[in-house]
Amino acid sequence: MNMTLTREKESPAIEIDNVGSAALTEKVYETSNLNLWYGENHALKNINLDMHQNEVTAIIGPSGCGKSTYIKTLNRMIELVPDVKTTGQIKYRNRNILDQSYKVEDLRTQVGMVFQKPNPFPKSIYENVVYGPKIHGIKNKKILDEIVEKSLKGAAIWDEVKDRLHENAYGLSGGQQQRLCIARCLAIEPDVILMDEPTSALDPISTLKIEELVQELKKDFSIIIVTHNMQQAARISDRTAFFLNGEVIEYSDTNTIFSNPNDKRTEDYITGRFG
Beta carbon nearer to another protein, 226 or 270: 226
Binding another protein (rule: CB under 8 A), the pick from 37, 38, 102, 115 is 115
Alpha carbon 70 to its chain's center: 12
Stretch touching another protein by CB under 8 A, among 90-98, 133-141, 157-165, 238-246: 133-141
Question: Contact between 119 and another protein (CB under 8 A)?
Answer: yes
How far apart, in whole angstroms, are the C-alpha atoms of residue 74 and residue 47?
12
Beta carbon nearer to another protein, 47 or 77: 77
Beta carbon nearer to another protein, 35 or 109: 109
Residue 136, Cβ density class (10 Å: 0-12 exposed, 13-18 middle, ≥19 buried): exposed
Q: What's the half-sphere exposure (Cβ side, CA atoms, 13 Å) at 126?
A: 12
**If DSSP codes are grouped into helix, strand and coil, which group holds residue 195?**
strand
Question: Contact between 105 and another protein (CB under 8 A)?
Answer: yes
Question: Contact between 3 and another protein (CB under 8 A)?
Answer: no
Biggest CA–CA distance in the chain, Å, is 58
Whole-angstrom distance between the N-terminal and C-terminal Cα of the chain? 53
Beta carbon nearer to another protein, 99 or 263: 99
Beta carbon nearer to another protein, 195 or 244: 195
Residue among 144, 117, 150, 151 nearest 130 (CA): 144
Contact 270, 243 (CB under 8 A): no
- Residue 25 phi/psi, 5-degree rounding, is -75, 165
CB of 36 vs another protein, minimal distance in Å: 18
Stretch touching another protein by CB under 8 A, among 29-37, 112-120, 142-150, 152-160: 112-120
Question: Contact between 137 and another protein (CB under 8 A)?
Answer: no
Binding another protein (rule: CB under 8 A), the pick from 7, 27, 123, 153 is 123
CB of 144 vs another protein, minimal distance in Å: 15
Question: Contact between 109 and another protein (CB under 8 A)?
Answer: yes
How far apart, in whole angstroms, are the C-alpha atoms of residue 79 and residue 70?
12
How does 40-63 read in b/e, with b if 16+ C-beta sit within 10 Å?
Answer: eeebbeebebebbbbbbbbbbbee
Close Cβ partners of 256 (under 8 Å, ≥ 6 residues apart) = 262
Site for another protein in 173-202 (CB under 8 A): 181, 184-185, 188
How far apart, in whole angstroms, are the C-alpha atoms of residue 91 and residue 220?
21
Beta carbon nearer to another protein, 76 or 239: 76
Q: What's the half-sphere exposure (Cβ side, CA atoms, 13 Å) at 155?
A: 29
Question: Contact between 170 and another protein (CB under 8 A)?
Answer: yes
Question: Contact between 80 and another protein (CB under 8 A)?
Answer: yes
Beta carbon nearer to another protein, 128 or 240: 128
Binding site for another protein (CB under 8 A): 75, 77, 80, 105-109, 112-113, 115, 117, 119-123, 131-132, 134-136, 168, 170, 181, 184-185, 188
